[in-house]
Amino acid sequence: MTPVEFRRALHRRPELSFQEHETQQFIIDALHSEGIPYRVIAGTGVLAVIEGKRGNHERAVVLRADIDALPIEELNDVEYCSEHKGIMHACGHDMHAAILFGVLQSLNRERNFEGTLFGIFQPGEELNPGGATLVLKEEPFKGYDVAAVIGEHVDARLEVGEIGICPGRFMASNDELRFRVSGRGGHAARRKEIDDTVTAMADMVVRTTSLNSPDAVVSVGRMIAEGATNVIPSEVTAEGTMRTFDSEVRERIYTHIHGNARMVAEKYGVKVDVDINRGYPCVTNNVLLSYEAMIVAADEGIIVRELQPMTTAEDFGYYTERYPSLFYRLGVGGKAGGSHTATFCPDEGAIEVGVRMMQRIALHILNK
The Cα 281–Cα 298 span in angstroms is 30
pLDDT computed for residue 238 by the predictor: 98
Q: What residues are paired with 243 via a beta bridge?
A: 174, 217
Confirm if 144 and 58 have CB atoms less than 8 A apart. Answer: yes
pLDDT computed for residue 271 by the predictor: 98
Closest of 224, 310, 225, 240 to residue 279, by C-alpha: 240
217 Cα distance to chain centroid: 17
Is this prediction's pTM over 0.75?
A: yes
pLDDT tens digits, the chain, 368 residues: what are they? 999 999 999 999 999 999 999 999 999 999 999 999 999 999 999 999 999 998 889 999 999 999 999 999 999 999 999 999 999 999 999 999 999 999 999 999 999 999 999 999 999 999 988 999 999 999 999 999 999 999 999 999 999 999 999 999 999 999 999 999 999 999 999 999 999 999 999 999 999 999 999 889 999 999 999 999 999 999 999 999 999 998 899 999 999 999 999 999 999 999 999 999 999 999 999 999 999 999 999 999 999 999 999 999 999 999 999 999 999 999 999 999 999 999 999 999 999 999 999 999 999 999 98
Give the chain's domains with CATH numbers: 3-172+282-366 (3.40.630.10), 173-278 (3.30.70.360)
Maximal CA-CA distance, the chain: 82
The Cα 68–Cα 35 span in angstroms is 24
pLDDT computed for residue 247 by the predictor: 86
pLDDT computed for residue 322 by the predictor: 97
Closest of 75, 107, 89, 72 to residue 154, by C-alpha: 89
Q: Is 78 exposed, middle or buried (0-12, 13-18, 19+ CB in 10 A)?
A: exposed
Beta pairing class for 145-155 and 325-331: parallel
Axis-axis angle for helices 3-12, 93-110 (nearest 10): 140
Measured CA to CA in angstroms, residue 325 lies from 22, 147, 168, 230, 321 at distances of: 29, 8, 10, 57, 9
The Cα 252–Cα 218 span in angstroms is 13
78 Cα distance to chain centroid: 26
pLDDT computed for residue 368 by the predictor: 84
Alpha-helical runs (H) found in 66-224? 93-110, 131-137, 197-209
Measured CA to CA in angstroms, residue 188 lies from 61, 147, 193, 203 at distances of: 64, 64, 9, 18
The Cα 286–Cα 324 span in angstroms is 6
pLDDT computed for residue 101 by the predictor: 98
Dihedral sign, CA of 196, 202, 207, 208? positive
Measured CA to CA in angstroms, residue 151 lies from 78, 99, 242, 346 at distances of: 27, 10, 24, 18
Measured CA to CA in angstroms, residue 42 lies from 83, 149, 161 at distances of: 25, 17, 33
Confirm if 182 and 232 have CB atoms less than 8 A apart. Answer: no
86 phi-psi bin (left φ>0, alpha ψ -120 to 50, beta other): left
